[in-house]
Every structure is written in C-alpha cells, then in structure tokens.
Amino acid sequence: MNTHLHEGLELARAVEASAKEKTSDALMIIAPPFTHLAKVREVISEVKLAAQNCSSEESGAYTGEVSPDMLKTAGVEYVIIGHSERRSYYHEDNEILNKKVQLALSKGLFPIFCCGESLEEREEGQMFDVIREQITVGLNGLSPSDMKNVIVAYEPVWAIGTGVTASPEQAQEMHKFIRDLLAELFNQQVADETSLLYGGSCKPSNAAELFANPDVDGGLIGGASLKAEDFIQIVNAYA
C-alpha cells in the first residue's frame, strides 16, 4: 500500500524507461495497487502488469472485492496470490488461495503464488512442512499444463520488509525443496520449468548472490522496487 496515483505512475514510467535499457534478459513485472492498474497499463509496454491480489469469487455481491475478470479488462496479465500479508492480516488460508489460483487461471491470468514460513515455524524446524502444506493445498487440482502459467515465490515471512535476507544457502535449500515437491506433485518437467522467485529484503547489494543459486530464478521485490534505480539494478543482477 505504497504510492499515490501520480507517484505510482511516475515510478511505472521510470521502470519502463529503465526496462528498455536493461542488460539482463529477466522478465520485468510490476504490481501496483488496484487503483493504479488501468493508468499504469497506458505507460508500460516492455514491463508486464500484475495485481497484488484478486477475489476468489467470479462476480456478484462481494463489496470491496476485485475479480479476475475486472483485472483482465484493466489489462492485467499476472496476479500475486497468497502474499504473506494477505495470509496473516486478512486470514486468507490455503483453501481460499487455491480457489483464487484456480479462478485466476480460468480467466487467463498468470498467478504468482507465494509461500513462506514464519520465524517461529523456522525456529521450530517446521519450515518444510509449512511450505509443503501451502503448496500442496494452494496448487491442488491444477494440471501440469496449468502449471505452465504459474510462478511460485518463496518469501520467508521473517525476511519480508525486515531488512533480514535469507542467506543464499537458505534460499537455495528451500527452492530445491520446492522444486522437488513440484516434481512429486506434478512431474519433473513442471519442476524444471516453473520459475521460482525469492522474496524478502532482496536489494541491489544481495540480489546477485541470491540469483546465482541454481534454483533461484528471480525475485519478488517489495521495498527496493519503490525506487526505479534500485529495481533495475536488481533486474540487471540476474545474469
């Protein structure tokens, strides 16, 4: 919940300008607030457009909700589903997130499905069980061909917005676990082809070492995306 409309548009324009000069072949996606989406659509072409959330319902009397269809008609291509702040502050559980993923896919949106454990869960050694549950339930009912349209983001809750980043070893360990889990739940091709993003205090100074891991395919960037020059440095850290 950052930037007023005019600030968001200015940021989107700056990101679009830097995208035209990027030195890496990373795909760039920006996810502004709902109120900015249709306007941001008009100022980007190189950069793809995502929403930060969507409804689990198709249409009707759900005051305050934004449906996948509404997003599509605003020119949105991707949608973040299950960000930890949605899970914790708005009590979105794995079942409701699964409904969102299925509905978004059925409407032709590409879900960016987030998972991540809390500090307490990591300290108690439960992190692999938590991630297994989030992914198994969150992506339940999807076919291998649906998975071609899904991006998975691992975001340890203790690293989001805290300045504490997972070490490259911690990120790689969990990403490998997720890739193996996708092979188990779907097949090896799905595991090999699904993009696994790392999120949580990723910044220009640590992006390259995180992205150097074999199973880290990119980043989901929060705070550092609010400055176009930091964001593009992170993009260019993806070799």
CA distances (Å), 148 to each of 41, 67, 105, 143, 152, in order? 24, 22, 10, 9, 11
Answer for which of 221, 228, 235, 237 binds ligand PGA (CB under 6 A) is 221
| CB contact at 8 A, 45 and 90 | no
155 classed as catalytic? yes
Smallest distance from the beta carbon of 59 to ligand PGA, in angstroms?
28
Smallest distance from the beta carbon of 188 to ligand PGA, in angstroms?
28
Smallest distance from the beta carbon of 225 to ligand PGA, in angstroms?
7
Question: How far is it, in rounded angstroms, from Cα 51 to Cα 72?
Answer: 10
Residues in 190-209 at the binding interface with ligand PGA, rule: CB under 6 A? 199-202
16, 83, 121, 175: which is the annotated catalytic residue?
83
Answer for which of 155, 190, 197, 231 binds ligand PGA (CB under 6 A) is 155
Nearest Cα to 119, choosing from 200, 177, 196?
A: 200
The neighbour count for residue 142, using CB atoms within 10 Å, is: 20
Instruction: Give the interface with ligand PGA as residue ranges (CB under 6 A).
Output: 155, 160-161, 199-202, 220-224
Catalytic sites, residue numbers: 83, 155
